[in-house]
Amino acid sequence: ALSQTLQFQEYVFLQFLGLDKVPSPQKFQPVPYILKKIFQDREAAAITGGSQDLCSVKDLGVRGNVLRLLPDQGFYLYSKNLSQASSCLQKLLYFNLPAIKDKEQLTMAQLGLDLGPNTYYNLGPELELALFLVQEPRVGHSIPKPGKLFVLKSVPWPQGVLHFNLLDVAKDWNNNPQKNLGLFLEILVKGDRDSGVNFQLEDTCARLRHSLHASLLVVTLNSEQCHPSSRKRR
Amino acid sequence: SAIPANKASCKNLCHRHQLFINFRDLGWQKWIIAPKGFMANYCHGECPFSLTTSLNSSNYAFMQALMHAVDPETPQAVCIPTKLSPISMLYQDNDDNVILRHYEDMVVDECGC
Protein backbone atom coordinates (compact mmCIF):
# COMPACT_ATOMS: atom_id res chain seq x y z
CA ALA A 1 0.00 0.00 0.00
CA LEU A 2 2.87 2.34 0.85
CA SER A 3 4.52 1.59 -2.47
CA GLN A 4 1.26 2.35 -4.31
CA THR A 5 0.86 5.61 -2.41
CA LEU A 6 4.43 6.60 -3.25
CA GLN A 7 3.89 5.77 -6.91
CA PHE A 8 0.73 7.86 -6.95
CA GLN A 9 2.46 10.79 -5.26
CA GLU A 10 5.32 10.48 -7.74
CA TYR A 11 2.85 10.45 -10.65
CA VAL A 12 1.12 13.59 -9.36
CA PHE A 13 4.44 15.38 -8.91
CA LEU A 14 5.70 14.33 -12.35
CA GLN A 15 2.51 15.70 -13.88
CA PHE A 16 3.24 18.97 -12.12
CA LEU A 17 6.68 18.87 -13.73
CA GLY A 18 5.03 18.44 -17.13
CA LEU A 19 5.68 14.72 -17.52
CA ASP A 20 3.08 12.00 -18.07
CA LYS A 21 5.14 9.27 -16.43
CA VAL A 22 8.63 8.48 -15.23
CA PRO A 23 10.74 8.66 -18.39
CA SER A 24 12.76 5.58 -19.28
CA PRO A 25 14.98 6.65 -22.17
CA GLN A 26 15.93 3.89 -24.61
CA LYS A 27 19.29 5.43 -25.43
CA PHE A 28 21.14 8.44 -24.13
CA GLN A 29 21.20 11.40 -26.44
CA PRO A 30 24.19 13.72 -26.60
CA VAL A 31 23.55 17.04 -24.85
CA PRO A 32 24.37 19.93 -27.19
CA TYR A 33 26.81 22.62 -26.11
CA ILE A 34 24.14 25.34 -25.98
CA LEU A 35 21.94 23.43 -23.50
CA LYS A 36 24.96 22.60 -21.34
CA LYS A 37 26.02 26.26 -21.36
CA ILE A 38 22.57 27.58 -20.43
CA PHE A 39 22.30 24.99 -17.65
CA GLN A 40 25.74 25.84 -16.26
CA ASP A 41 25.05 29.60 -16.45
CA ARG A 42 21.80 29.13 -14.50
CA GLU A 43 23.57 27.02 -11.90
CA ALA A 44 26.30 29.65 -11.51
CA ALA A 45 23.70 32.41 -11.16
CA ALA A 46 21.87 30.37 -8.51
CA ILE A 47 25.08 29.98 -6.49
CA THR A 48 25.96 33.67 -6.66
CA GLY A 49 22.36 34.63 -5.94
CA GLY A 50 22.03 36.71 -9.09
CA SER A 51 18.60 37.52 -10.44
CA GLN A 52 17.38 35.26 -13.22
CA ASP A 53 14.74 35.73 -15.86
CA LEU A 54 13.54 32.19 -16.29
CA CYS A 55 11.25 33.17 -19.15
CA SER A 56 13.92 34.27 -21.58
CA VAL A 57 16.89 32.50 -23.11
CA LYS A 58 19.59 35.14 -23.36
CA ASP A 59 22.00 32.92 -25.27
CA LEU A 60 19.48 32.34 -28.04
CA GLY A 61 17.89 35.80 -27.90
CA VAL A 62 14.33 34.52 -27.52
CA ARG A 63 11.60 34.36 -24.92
CA GLY A 64 10.95 30.90 -23.55
CA ASN A 65 11.20 28.70 -20.49
CA VAL A 66 11.40 25.19 -21.93
CA LEU A 67 14.13 24.09 -24.32
CA ARG A 68 13.82 20.80 -26.14
CA LEU A 69 16.26 19.07 -28.38
CA LEU A 70 14.31 16.72 -30.64
CA PRO A 71 16.36 13.95 -32.23
CA ASP A 72 15.93 13.17 -35.88
CA GLN A 73 13.80 10.04 -36.31
CA GLY A 74 14.15 9.91 -40.08
CA PHE A 75 16.13 7.57 -42.30
CA TYR A 76 18.46 7.50 -45.27
CA LEU A 77 17.04 7.02 -48.71
CA TYR A 78 19.07 5.10 -51.22
CA SER A 79 18.76 5.67 -54.92
CA LYS A 80 19.56 2.62 -57.03
CA ASN A 81 21.78 4.68 -59.30
CA LEU A 82 23.34 6.87 -56.64
CA SER A 83 26.87 6.37 -57.93
CA GLN A 84 25.88 7.72 -61.33
CA ALA A 85 23.48 10.40 -60.22
CA SER A 86 24.52 13.81 -58.93
CA SER A 87 23.26 12.99 -55.45
CA CYS A 88 25.74 12.27 -52.67
CA LEU A 89 23.33 11.77 -49.79
CA GLN A 90 19.57 11.70 -49.38
CA LYS A 91 17.85 11.62 -46.05
CA LEU A 92 14.38 12.12 -44.73
CA LEU A 93 14.46 14.10 -41.47
CA TYR A 94 11.57 13.67 -39.09
CA PHE A 95 10.97 15.32 -35.72
CA ASN A 96 8.25 14.29 -33.33
CA LEU A 97 6.62 17.60 -32.44
CA PRO A 98 3.53 16.46 -30.51
CA ALA A 99 5.63 16.61 -27.34
CA ILE A 100 4.81 20.34 -27.27
CA LYS A 101 1.85 21.02 -25.01
CA ASP A 102 -1.13 23.22 -25.90
CA LYS A 103 -0.29 25.87 -23.29
CA GLU A 104 3.13 26.41 -24.81
CA GLN A 105 3.92 28.97 -27.48
CA LEU A 106 6.69 28.18 -29.93
CA THR A 107 9.29 30.94 -29.96
CA MET A 108 12.13 29.20 -31.72
CA ALA A 109 12.73 26.13 -33.88
CA GLN A 110 16.24 25.73 -35.16
CA LEU A 111 17.37 22.79 -37.24
CA GLY A 112 20.96 21.84 -36.55
CA LEU A 113 22.87 19.78 -39.10
CA ASP A 114 26.24 18.57 -37.96
CA LEU A 115 28.14 17.29 -40.96
CA GLY A 116 31.01 16.06 -38.83
CA PRO A 117 34.55 17.29 -38.17
CA ASN A 118 35.90 15.90 -41.44
CA THR A 119 33.97 18.46 -43.44
CA TYR A 120 36.08 21.26 -42.02
CA TYR A 121 39.16 20.05 -43.82
CA ASN A 122 38.98 17.90 -46.89
CA LEU A 123 35.63 18.19 -48.58
CA GLY A 124 36.85 16.77 -51.85
CA PRO A 125 34.40 17.47 -54.63
CA GLU A 126 32.28 20.58 -54.61
CA LEU A 127 29.02 19.82 -52.84
CA GLU A 128 25.75 21.61 -52.30
CA LEU A 129 23.21 20.96 -49.57
CA ALA A 130 19.52 21.35 -50.29
CA LEU A 131 16.75 21.19 -47.74
CA PHE A 132 13.14 20.63 -48.76
CA LEU A 133 9.81 20.53 -47.00
CA VAL A 134 7.91 17.32 -47.78
CA GLN A 135 4.36 18.28 -48.72
CA GLU A 136 2.80 14.96 -49.65
CA PRO A 137 2.90 11.52 -47.99
CA ARG A 138 5.38 9.08 -49.47
CA VAL A 139 5.01 5.35 -49.90
CA GLY A 140 7.39 3.42 -47.64
CA HIS A 141 11.01 4.49 -48.02
CA SER A 142 10.50 5.96 -51.48
CA ILE A 143 12.26 9.15 -52.46
CA PRO A 144 9.84 12.11 -52.46
CA LYS A 145 8.75 13.26 -55.91
CA PRO A 146 10.30 16.60 -56.92
CA GLY A 147 6.89 18.25 -57.41
CA LYS A 148 5.89 17.46 -53.82
CA LEU A 149 8.87 19.21 -52.27
CA PHE A 150 9.19 22.83 -51.26
CA VAL A 151 12.70 24.23 -51.30
CA LEU A 152 13.61 25.71 -47.93
CA LYS A 153 17.34 26.32 -48.20
CA SER A 154 20.29 25.71 -50.42
CA VAL A 155 23.84 25.89 -49.11
CA PRO A 156 26.89 25.70 -51.38
CA TRP A 157 30.04 24.16 -49.87
CA PRO A 158 28.35 22.93 -46.67
CA GLN A 159 30.69 22.19 -43.79
CA GLY A 160 30.74 21.89 -40.02
CA VAL A 161 27.50 22.68 -38.22
CA LEU A 162 24.68 24.39 -40.08
CA HIS A 163 21.64 26.03 -38.51
CA PHE A 164 18.30 26.74 -40.16
CA ASN A 165 15.43 28.75 -38.77
CA LEU A 166 12.33 26.56 -39.04
CA LEU A 167 10.02 28.50 -36.74
CA ASP A 168 7.25 29.01 -39.32
CA VAL A 169 7.48 25.39 -40.45
CA ALA A 170 7.37 24.09 -36.88
CA LYS A 171 4.40 26.35 -36.04
CA ASP A 172 2.56 24.96 -39.04
CA TRP A 173 3.40 21.37 -38.02
CA ASN A 174 2.33 22.07 -34.47
CA ASN A 175 -1.02 23.52 -35.58
CA ASN A 176 -1.58 20.83 -38.22
CA PRO A 177 0.22 17.63 -37.12
CA GLN A 178 -0.87 15.87 -40.33
CA LYS A 179 1.34 18.32 -42.24
CA ASN A 180 4.41 17.10 -40.40
CA LEU A 181 5.72 14.83 -43.15
CA GLY A 182 9.31 15.69 -42.45
CA LEU A 183 12.09 17.32 -44.38
CA PHE A 184 14.07 15.99 -47.30
CA LEU A 185 17.79 16.61 -47.13
CA GLU A 186 19.95 16.12 -50.15
CA ILE A 187 23.64 16.73 -50.67
CA LEU A 188 24.39 17.12 -54.33
CA VAL A 189 27.58 17.08 -56.34
CA LYS A 190 27.97 20.30 -58.26
CA GLY A 191 29.12 20.06 -61.84
CA ASP A 192 29.95 16.89 -63.75
CA ARG A 193 31.28 13.80 -62.09
CA ASP A 194 34.34 12.60 -63.89
CA SER A 195 36.05 9.31 -63.24
CA GLY A 196 39.06 11.01 -61.65
CA VAL A 197 37.11 12.36 -58.67
CA ASN A 198 34.66 9.47 -58.38
CA PHE A 199 36.67 7.52 -55.80
CA GLN A 200 37.20 10.60 -53.64
CA LEU A 201 33.54 11.48 -54.02
CA GLU A 202 32.31 8.09 -52.84
CA ASP A 203 34.62 8.37 -49.84
CA THR A 204 33.34 11.87 -48.97
CA CYS A 205 29.71 10.80 -49.31
CA ALA A 206 30.27 7.71 -47.16
CA ARG A 207 31.91 9.87 -44.47
CA LEU A 208 29.02 12.33 -44.60
CA ARG A 209 26.46 9.55 -44.23
CA HIS A 210 28.40 8.24 -41.25
CA SER A 211 28.86 11.54 -39.45
CA LEU A 212 25.67 13.48 -40.26
CA HIS A 213 23.67 14.31 -37.15
CA ALA A 214 20.43 16.28 -37.27
CA SER A 215 18.38 17.70 -34.41
CA LEU A 216 15.71 20.33 -33.90
CA LEU A 217 16.13 22.77 -31.02
CA VAL A 218 12.72 24.02 -29.96
CA VAL A 219 12.08 26.78 -27.43
CA THR A 220 8.62 27.30 -26.01
CA LEU A 221 7.04 29.78 -23.64
CA ASN A 222 4.47 28.49 -21.19
CA SER A 223 1.85 31.21 -20.79
CA GLU A 224 0.87 29.93 -17.33
CA GLN A 225 4.41 30.29 -16.02
CA CYS A 226 5.49 33.33 -18.04
CA HIS A 227 3.56 36.42 -18.98
CA PRO A 228 3.98 37.68 -22.54
CA SER A 229 6.47 40.53 -22.86
CA SER A 230 4.73 43.89 -22.77
CA ARG A 231 5.07 46.07 -25.86
CA LYS A 232 7.14 49.19 -25.46
CA ARG A 233 5.17 52.42 -25.57
CA ARG A 234 6.03 54.88 -28.26
CA SER B 1 9.70 43.07 21.98
CA ALA B 2 11.42 39.75 21.47
CA ILE B 3 12.45 37.82 24.53
CA PRO B 4 15.90 36.27 24.09
CA ALA B 5 15.68 32.49 24.19
CA ASN B 6 18.22 30.29 25.90
CA LYS B 7 20.77 28.30 23.88
CA ALA B 8 19.01 24.94 24.23
CA SER B 9 15.69 26.21 22.92
CA CYS B 10 17.36 28.10 20.06
CA LYS B 11 18.01 24.75 18.39
CA ASN B 12 14.31 24.06 18.32
CA LEU B 13 13.35 27.39 16.84
CA CYS B 14 12.14 27.67 13.29
CA HIS B 15 15.08 27.67 10.91
CA ARG B 16 16.38 26.21 7.68
CA HIS B 17 17.88 22.72 7.74
CA GLN B 18 19.98 21.12 5.04
CA LEU B 19 18.35 18.49 2.86
CA PHE B 20 20.15 17.12 -0.16
CA ILE B 21 17.91 15.55 -2.77
CA ASN B 22 19.85 12.79 -4.47
CA PHE B 23 18.09 11.74 -7.67
CA ARG B 24 19.73 8.31 -7.40
CA ASP B 25 17.82 7.69 -4.15
CA LEU B 26 14.58 8.35 -6.05
CA GLY B 27 15.57 6.18 -9.00
CA TRP B 28 15.42 9.27 -11.22
CA GLN B 29 19.07 9.14 -12.28
CA LYS B 30 17.97 7.12 -15.33
CA TRP B 31 16.35 10.13 -16.94
CA ILE B 32 17.77 13.23 -15.25
CA ILE B 33 21.04 14.14 -16.95
CA ALA B 34 21.91 17.03 -14.64
CA PRO B 35 22.08 17.88 -11.83
CA LYS B 36 22.74 14.62 -9.99
CA GLY B 37 21.04 16.17 -7.00
CA PHE B 38 20.55 19.50 -5.29
CA MET B 39 20.43 21.08 -1.85
CA ALA B 40 16.69 21.59 -1.41
CA ASN B 41 16.72 22.29 2.37
CA TYR B 42 13.65 22.30 4.58
CA CYS B 43 12.12 24.35 7.40
CA HIS B 44 11.57 22.99 10.84
CA GLY B 45 11.24 24.33 14.34
CA GLU B 46 8.91 26.05 16.71
CA CYS B 47 7.33 29.45 16.33
CA PRO B 48 6.75 30.57 19.94
CA PHE B 49 4.74 33.71 20.49
CA SER B 50 7.63 35.36 22.28
CA LEU B 51 9.77 35.12 19.12
CA THR B 52 7.30 35.56 16.31
CA THR B 53 8.52 39.10 15.70
CA SER B 54 12.12 38.00 15.28
CA LEU B 55 11.68 34.80 13.29
CA ASN B 56 10.92 36.32 9.90
CA SER B 57 7.26 35.95 10.76
CA SER B 58 4.22 37.11 8.92
CA ASN B 59 1.62 39.29 10.61
CA TYR B 60 -0.69 36.32 10.33
CA ALA B 61 1.75 34.11 12.29
CA PHE B 62 1.92 36.76 14.99
CA MET B 63 -1.87 36.86 15.27
CA GLN B 64 -2.11 33.05 15.24
CA ALA B 65 0.56 32.81 17.95
CA LEU B 66 -1.30 35.46 19.94
CA MET B 67 -4.53 33.47 19.66
CA HIS B 68 -2.68 30.28 20.65
CA ALA B 69 -1.50 32.07 23.77
CA VAL B 70 -5.03 32.92 24.82
CA ASP B 71 -6.68 29.81 23.40
CA PRO B 72 -4.43 26.70 23.30
CA GLU B 73 -6.89 24.97 20.98
CA THR B 74 -5.70 27.26 18.22
CA PRO B 75 -2.61 25.58 16.78
CA GLN B 76 0.77 27.25 17.03
CA ALA B 77 2.10 29.15 14.05
CA VAL B 78 4.10 26.86 11.78
CA CYS B 79 7.58 27.04 10.36
CA ILE B 80 7.45 27.31 6.58
CA PRO B 81 9.58 28.37 3.60
CA THR B 82 9.35 32.13 3.04
CA LYS B 83 11.76 32.36 0.14
CA LEU B 84 12.25 29.72 -2.51
CA SER B 85 14.39 29.64 -5.60
CA PRO B 86 14.26 27.66 -8.84
CA ILE B 87 16.58 25.05 -10.28
CA SER B 88 17.22 24.02 -13.84
CA MET B 89 16.95 20.39 -14.84
CA LEU B 90 18.31 18.72 -17.91
CA TYR B 91 16.58 15.45 -18.66
CA GLN B 92 15.48 13.04 -21.33
CA ASP B 93 11.83 12.17 -21.88
CA ASN B 94 10.20 9.06 -23.31
CA ASP B 95 10.55 10.37 -26.87
CA ASP B 96 14.33 10.64 -26.40
CA ASN B 97 14.08 14.43 -26.43
CA VAL B 98 16.66 16.27 -24.34
CA ILE B 99 14.85 18.93 -22.34
CA LEU B 100 16.15 21.87 -20.33
CA ARG B 101 13.53 23.26 -18.04
CA HIS B 102 13.48 25.60 -15.09
CA TYR B 103 11.40 24.65 -12.10
CA GLU B 104 10.22 27.27 -9.65
CA ASP B 105 10.19 26.84 -5.87
CA MET B 106 12.58 23.92 -5.63
CA VAL B 107 15.11 25.26 -3.10
CA VAL B 108 14.30 26.68 0.33
CA ASP B 109 16.37 29.82 0.83
CA GLU B 110 14.69 31.22 3.93
CA CYS B 111 12.25 30.03 6.56
CA GLY B 112 9.80 31.90 8.70
CA CYS B 113 6.72 31.55 10.81
Comparing A88-92, A101-105, A227-231, the range with the smallest average pLDDT is: A227-231
pLDDT at residue A84 greater than cutoff 60: no
For residue B97, which phi and psi values (nearest 5 degrees)?
Answer: -80, 140
pLDDT at residue A190 greater than cutoff 80: no
Contact assignment for A69 to B85 by CB distance below 8 Å: no
Per-residue model confidence (pLDDT) at position B12: 87
Residue of B nearest to A34 (CA): B100
Contact assignment for A99 to B97 by CB distance below 8 Å: yes
Contact assignment for A29 to B34 by CB distance below 8 Å: no
Which of A170, A157, A222, A203 is closest to A16 using CA atoms? A222
pLDDT at residue A82 greater than cutoff 80: no
Give the residues across from A150 on adjacent strands.
A133
What residues contact A30, with CB distance under 8 A and at least 6 apart? Answer: none
Per-residue model confidence (pLDDT) at position B5: 47
Interface of chain B against chain A, CB under 8 Å?
27-28, 30-31, 33-35, 85-88, 90-104, 107
Shortest Cα distance, chain A CAs vs residue B30, angstroms: 7
pLDDT in tens, A148-181: 677 888 888 788 889 999 999 999 999 888 889 9
More reliable by pLDDT, A44 or A100? A44
More reliable by pLDDT, A197 or A179? A179
pLDDT at residue A136 greater than cutoff 90: no
Contact assignment for B94 to A23 by CB distance below 8 Å: yes
CA Rg value for chain B: 19
- How far apart CA B67 and CA B76 sit, in angstroms, is 9
Q: What is the pLDDT along chain B (113 residues), one digit of tens a residue?
A: 344 444 446 778 899 999 999 999 988 888 999 999 999 999 999 888 766 666 778 888 888 888 888 899 999 889 999 999 989 999 998 888 899 998 888 999 999 99
Q: Burial code of B20-45, b = ≥16 C-beta within 10 A, e = fewer?
A: ebebeeeebeebbbbeeebeebebeb
Residue of A nearest to B93 (CA): A23
Confidence of residue A122 (pLDDT cuts 50, 70, 90): low
